[in-house]
Structure 1
Amino acid sequence: MTSPDVHSLVGAYALDAVDDLERAAFERHLAGCETCRAEVAELRETSARLADSTWSVPPPRLRAEVMAEIGRTRQAPPPAEPDASPDRRSTPAWQRYSIAAAAAVVLAAGTGASVYAIQEQKLRDSSAVVAAAQLREARTQAILSAGDLVVRTAPMIGGGRVTVASSATLRASVVTIRSDRTLAANQALQMWTIRGTGSPVSPAVMAPGEESGVAVLDGVPGNDVFAVSLEPAGGSPTPSSTIMAKVQLT
């Protein structure tokens, strides 16, 4: 196995997707290659971040339990009120209590239905988020295990590192950003791709004050440079501040 072949195992090794022979060869190489050690650490951090999403999803039996509880709950009659009006006296007590109980049951049923509707919406929202996270994780693993994976890194001003793991065949990259610089709540790290002498294009902006993050970006391998700048919260149409890091993709 030649040296370039060993370097190409970075992504597969980080995902534990190598056989025993490849693992032994790569670990011998890893002992003397600081660049590969850094790349493996970055890629493992990326995988851990993408897999670390736990969502609390309402159980499917929620509706049945709510409706069953409504059926089991006995509605207490309203307290007697002193009322000497003719209409009040003309209505038998049992009828007034029956009407009140029926109203209470209707109210309880309406409340239960409302609770179920809210929980059902939360379930749909949570399911959509989980599905998106699973899709992103699968996409990430596909990129990191691609046969043509190329991993490039660059330091950030003030400390930290940007790692871009790209697959030209998938036309996508997994980007990890870690800044050691403390950001203010009104500042954000913004990503840029630059092709030749063209204008920078921003594929993503990190949340205000967020100093590290992972993104799966399409189209990055077709560019010459990947850069990160410090911008106002929400981002800028063009880089307006100092470029914090620049990764040469070609």
Structure 2
Amino acid sequence: MIADIHALAGAYVLDAVDDLERAAFDRHLSECDACRGEVGELREAAVRLAGGTWSVPPPRLRDNVLDEIRKTRQLPPRAAKPVVAPAGRRRRLVAVAAAVVLAAAGAGTAAYQIQDQRVRDAQASAAATRAEQERVNSILASPDLTVRTQQLDGGGRVTIAYSRLRDAGVVSLIADAPPTGGRVFQLWTVHATKPVDEGVLAVGQTSVVKVIDHMPSASDVGVTAEPAGGSRVPTDPMLADLKIV
């Protein structure tokens, strides 16, 4: 389980924990009277501290603004002189206007189709995100959930939560900074001494939450720094190496 889970009380009250740590601490609260009391006291203190962070506008502010509006002269709209075009020119203008209307209609149809595709893409992305979140929640709600965490070399932490009943796990990576030299973080599991690529982060990306199938059958979950695009085998040394037991 998470080392010294009692120390998460302050971060838990400030919502500064990730989903895995929140699930572990929620379970811990049901068993620890001391942490329940500490959480209650910290929440009360947070409410009191937040009470002085806003102020009421001065009573005369609205009246002063309205008074300035009344004293400030508003510029009248410019009167445009009517322009009468010759008959031939008027016909040409009508034809051009009609062409503009038709072109605008065509452009409007194309814009609608592009926007409609964007909406469908956004809906598909949202559905995929919801499905992934439901899988995460399902794993975190498992009665046999095991949670482990480890500091990441270079700053940050890696947390894994896995369930043998679900035959899956969740890894959460939160780094203080990306690897140097344009390198990226890459996730791995190790099955029977064979490393398996579990995902490569983008250049500059410092956090990820990912579901990994068959995590309980692995011996390790690791993180390395690799060239952009990832590697076929891990580059030593591991930045984090969490054991599955």
1: CA distance between counterparts of 2:213 and 2:175?
23
Question: What residue in structure 2 maps to residue 156 of structure 1?
Answer: 152
Cα distance in 1 between the residues matched to 2:35 and 2:124:
40
| Residue 117 of structure 1: aligned partner | 113
Quote the RMSD (CA, aligned, Å): 3.2
**2:161 counterpart of 1:165:** yes
Tell me the secondary structure at the aligned position of residue 111 of structure 2. helix
Report if aligned partners of 2:20, 2:147 keep a CA contact under 8 Å in 1.
no
Conserved? CA contact 2:150–2:157, under 8 Å? yes
More divergent stretch after superposition (175-184 vs 139-148): 175-184
Q: How does 1:203-242 map to 2 (within 5 A)?
A: 203-242=198-237
Q: Distance in 1 between matches of 2:21 and 2:177?
A: 30
How far, CA to CA, are the matches of 2:209 and 2:233 in structure 1?
22
1:243 aligns with 2:233: no
Deviation per CA, 1:176-207: give whole Å up to 9, x if none.
1123355236111111111223x201111111
Check the 8 A contact 2:20/2:172 in 1, yes or no: no
Partner of 1:26: 31
Task: Answer yes or no: is the 8 Å Cα contact 2:220–2:244 preserved in 1.
Answer: yes
Q: Please give the alpha-carbon distance, in whole angstroms, between the structure 2 residues aligned to 1:148 and 1:103.
A: 69
Matched-pair identity in %: 34
Q: Which runs of 5+ in 2 are unaligned?
A: 1-18, 37-83
| 1:14 partnered with 2:15 | no
Contact preservation (8 Å) 1:231, 1:240: yes
Matched residues in 2 for 1:147 and 1:221: separation?
Answer: 14
For 2:152 and 2:104, locate their aligned partners in 1 and report how far apart those are by CA, in whole Å: 59
The answer to whether the Cα contact below 8 Å between 1:143 and 1:167 also exists between their aligned partners in 2 is: yes
Distance 2:213 2:99 in 1: 57
Assess, with a 3 A threshold, how the Cα gap between structure 1 residues 159 and 119 changes in structure 2: closer, same or farther: same
Task: Mark the CA change 1:182 to 1:207 in structure 2 (over 3 Å): closer, same or farther.
Answer: closer
How far off is 1:96 after superposition?
4.5
Looking at structure 2, the residues matched to 208 and 244 of structure 1 have their Cα atoms a distance apart, in angstroms, of: 17
1:13: Cα distance to partner?
A: 9.2
For the structure 1 residues 218 and 93, does the alpha-carbon distance in structure 2 shift closer, same or farther, using more than 3 Å as the test? same
Contact 1:187 1:231 in 2 (8 A): yes
User: Residue type matched to 1:127 in 2?
Assistant: Q
AA partner of residue 146 (structure 2):
V
Distance 1:127 1:119 in 2: 12
Aligned match of 2:184: 188
Shift of 1:26: 2.4
Q: Per-residue deviation at 1:23?
A: 7.5
Residue pairs, 1:50-69, within 5 angstroms: none
